[in-house]
Structure 1
């Protein structure tokens, strides 16, 4: 490979690293200044990366953010098995502490992918969240937990042209509505939903974060409405505690 191609690849990686490290999108001028790149080179890189969906451009604000392809690469890494293996004991602990079915899920585009689950002994309840199942992230508690940790630019990249599928009469139908829900999730530190994925089922979830504080996954519990053994806030404390332990284990602390 020629030295010019290696240099271009290094610059692409630098752009991705920079955008991933920022909560808010950046202008092309800010990117050029941060990376000490010529303005023309920066614009060329961004245009090529936009074509491949690694970055997203917001003309109204003249800013750039990570695109959907960048998010999908992160999700693909998590599906290699490391996260699933690391989460096994934490799911077992969560089910033991709450007596409910527990799940581990990651974001995949605008969906969540369920990687693992644990059911309490003697449970006769069959949920739709089997391992390998994909569901719209905006409808699920695990999905909302992850989405709440993304920046505004990332959310817009995912949902600006989204069709907002629904599974029940309980729905979110716009980015503005989702943003309001995610604001509440951030304030509470956990997400809950009742009947938005399956009628008669309610869920509580919390994010699992990496060493940089960004969500890499979410764990949660699901139960039949009306059978909840404790208030949602009490169950959320259990979910958050296990999610924090999982996060610390991933960080090696």
Structure 2
């Protein structure tokens, strides 16, 4: 593949990533500015991507969003991706044993994306988070669980110049505060979040780790604040930690950074 084609492919992926991260329609000029691309290049890329249905143009807003082909790619990953496929039975095990909602999430940059969830059969409140939701990792138990397994340099690089957004007025607002939470999570094997993403909602999560120690996801259990005693919360934490360890052992070394040995 020529260098120019590789560059074009990188730019297409940059556009998709930008639209996914922003989550709102963006004008051509906004995309051009965010990616530091000439407007003519941006316009050409968007038209090609529109022809392939990876983006859609909304004339009333004069702006672009992800298209149906992007959704189809994401849906295919949800059906066939190893984390989602293998994680379903572990989420089910958590939900059945705790009678609460379980989640599977992955880290992307300084955010987490919720890949899937399982809700209990009991009637009542259905809790956040919807599949595909993106939230700041530092506010969530699943995010903190994954971050707790990264080294000091990785955390520093990830949060350099970070603005520390908040949703409820709680949660870490400095790197030092986050490091304190991550140290506790690493020592205990699980992270706890109380009311930081949604008022009245708590979550306990543990990382899913490959054989070489790399965190690739987290499993979490979410429940209403005040609905559990200290003993019940401790039992949930033990269960989350145990099921995440089972998931980690099941993955083994099947997830690798790069398939160089097969190329």
Structures share a fold, TM > 0.5? Answer: yes
CA distance in 2, matches of 1:242, 1:226: 24
Secondary structure at the counterpart of residue 234 of structure 2: helix
Other-structure match for 1:128: 128
Other-structure match for 1:82: 82
CA distance in 1, matches of 2:152, 2:208: 19
TM-score normalised by L of structure 2: 0.64
Matches within 5 A, 1:170-209: 170-209=170-209
Other-structure match for 2:168: 168
Other-structure match for 1:245: 246
Other-structure match for 1:151: 151
CA distance in 2, matches of 1:181, 1:238: 20
Deviation string, structure 1 residues 41-82 (Cα, Å, up to 9, x no partner): xxxxxxxxxxxxxxxxxxxxxxxxxxxxxxxxxxx9x87722
CA distance in 1, matches of 2:96, 2:134: 25
Residue 99 of structure 2 is aligned to residue 99 of structure 1: yes
The runs of at least 4 aligned residues of structure 1 exceeding 4 Å deviation read none
CA distance in 2, matches of 1:160, 1:183: 19
CA distance in 2, matches of 1:252, 1:158: 25
Q: What are the ranges of 5 or more consecutive residues in structure 1 without an aligned counterpart?
A: 6-75
CA distance in 2, matches of 1:170, 1:218: 22
Secondary structure at the counterpart of residue 85 of structure 2: helix
Other-structure match for 1:31: none
Other-structure match for 1:114: 114
Deviation string, structure 1 residues 148-201 (Cα, Å, up to 9, x no partner): 000111111110111100000212111111011111111111001110010001
Question: What displacement does 1:128 show?
Answer: 2.7
CA distance in 2, matches of 1:132, 1:232: 27
CA distance in 2, matches of 1:113, 1:197: 13
Secondary structure at the counterpart of residue 231 of structure 1: helix
Question: What displacement does 1:127 show?
Answer: 2.3
Q: What are the ranges of 5 or more consecutive residues in structure 2 without an aligned counterpart?
A: 4-73, 255-263
Deviation string, structure 1 residues 221-244 (Cα, Å, up to 9, x no partner): 000012126432221110011001
CA distance in 2, matches of 1:123, 1:223: 13
CA distance in 2, matches of 1:98, 1:112: 23
Question: What displacement does 1:108 show?
Answer: 0.6
Higher RCO, Cα 8 Å, sep 6+: 1
Question: What displacement does 1:252 show?
Answer: 6.9
CA distance in 2, matches of 1:219, 1:114: 10
TM-score normalised by L of structure 1: 0.67
CA distance in 1, matches of 2:117, 2:216: 17
Secondary structure at the counterpart of residue 244 of structure 2: helix
